[in-house]
Amino acid sequence: MKSQSIILVIVVLGTLMGALDSTIVLLAFPAITDGLKSDFITTIWIILTYLLVIAVTTTQLGRIGDIYGRTRMFNMGFGVFTVGSALCGFSPNIYFLIGSRVVQAVGGALMQSNSGAIIADTFPPNARGKAYGFSSLGWTIGSMLGIVLGGIVTTFVGWQFIFFINIPIGVIALILGFKYLKPAAKVKAKLDLGGMILLATSLLLISYGATSLASQGIGIPSSISLLIGAILIPIFIAYENRLETPMVDFGAFKDRVLRNSCLATFFVSVGYISVVFLIIMYLQGVRGLSPLNASLLLIPGYVIGSFFAPVMGRHSDKIGARTIATIGIICLAAATLIFTAISQNSSLYIIILASAVSGFGTAMFFPANNSAVMAKARQGNYGSISGLLRTLQNVGILGSFVVAITVASASIPRQLAFQVFINTVKLSGGLSASFITGIQAALYASIAILAVAAILSATRGKENRTTQPN
Model pLDDT for residues 357-389, shown as the tens digit of each residue: 998 898 888 888 887 877 776 665 666 777 777
Q: Which of 227, 242, 257 is the last residue of a domain?
A: 242
465 occurs within a structural domain: no
- Confidence bin at 470 (pLDDT 50/70/90): very low
| Element at 319 (helix H, strand E) | helix 299-319
- Which pLDDT value is given to residue 380? 59
Q: Do 147 and 27 touch, CB atoms closer than 8 A?
A: yes
Q: Are residues 306 and 404 in the same domain?
A: yes
Residues 305 and 223 in one domain: no
Q: How far apart are CA 6 and CA 136, in angstroms?
A: 16
Same domain, 77 and 147: yes
Question: CA nearest 402: which of 225, 169, 172, 156?
Answer: 225
Does 231 lie in the same domain as 188? Answer: no
Q: Is residue 352 part of a domain?
A: yes
* Residues 6 or more apart whose Cβ sits within 8 Å of residue 136: 15, 305, 309, 313, 362, 363, 366, 367, 370
Residues 134 and 29 in one domain: yes
Q: Residue 129 has what pLDDT?
A: 73
One domain, residues 23 and 134: yes
Q: What is the mean pLDDT of residues 421-447?
A: 82
The domain that contains 315 carries what CATH number? 1.20.1250.20
Confidence class for position 50, pLDDT limits 50, 70, 90 = confident
Residue 250 lies in a domain: yes
Residue pLDDT, tens place only, 63-113: 788 778 888 888 899 899 999 999 999 999 999 999 999 999 999 888 887
- The string of pLDDT tens digits covering residues 230-263 is 899 899 888 888 877 777 777 777 788 888 888 8
The domain of 219 spans: 193-242
Determine the average pLDDT of the residues in 122-142: 73
pTM above the 0.85 mark? no
Cβ pair 362, 328 in contact under 8 A: yes
Residue 463, in any domain of the structure: no
Q: Which runs of consecutive H residues, i.e. helices, occur in 242-255?
A: none
Q: How high is the pLDDT of residue 370?
A: 80
Which one of 211, 242, 273 terminates a domain?
242
Residue with the larger pLDDT of the pair 128 and 119: 119
Whether residue 144 has pLDDT greater than 80? no
Residue 464 lies in a domain: no
> Which of 212, 227, 242 is where one domain is finished?
242
Same domain, 253 and 235: no
Q: What's the confidence (pLDDT) of residue 354?
A: 93
Is the residue at 316 inside a domain? yes
Q: Yes or no: say if 313 and 133 are a contact pair by the CB < 8 Å rule.
A: yes
Give the residue with greater pLDDT, 34 vs 378. 34
Q: Which of 36-40, 215-219, 380-384 has the lowest mean pLDDT?
A: 380-384
Q: What is the pLDDT of residue 466?
A: 57
Of 179-188, 192-201, 286-295, where does mean pLDDT reach its minimum? 179-188
Report how far Cα 122 is from the mean position of its chain's Cα atoms. 23
In this predicted structure, what is the pLDDT of residue 184? 66
Clarify whether residues 284 and 208 are in a common domain: no
Same domain? For 129 and 221 the reply is no
pLDDT confidence bin for 51, thresholds 50/70/90: confident
3-state secondary structure of 243: coil
Q: Is residue 183 part of a domain?
A: yes
Distance CA 184, CA 181 (A): 9
Of these ranges, 185-194, 290-299, 431-440, the one predicted with the greatest mean pLDDT is 431-440
Distance of CA 27 to the CA centre of its chain: 17
- The whole-angstrom separation of Cα 428 and Cα 405 is 19
Percentage with pLDDT > 70 across the chain: 90
122 plus 231 within the same structural domain: no
Other C-beta atoms closer than 10 Å to the C-beta of 161 total: 17
Q: Is residue 452 part of a domain?
A: yes
Statement to judge: residues 211 and 286 lie in one domain: no
Instruction: Work out the percent of the chain whose per-residue pLDDT is above 90.
Output: 17
Judgement on whether residues 185 and 264 belong to the same structural domain of the protein: yes
Report the mean per-residue pLDDT for the chain. 81
The one-character DSSP state at 255 is S
Total of domains in the chain:
2
pLDDT recorded at residue 98: 94
- Asked if residue 29 lies in contact with residue 82, where contact means CB atoms within 8 angstroms, the answer is no
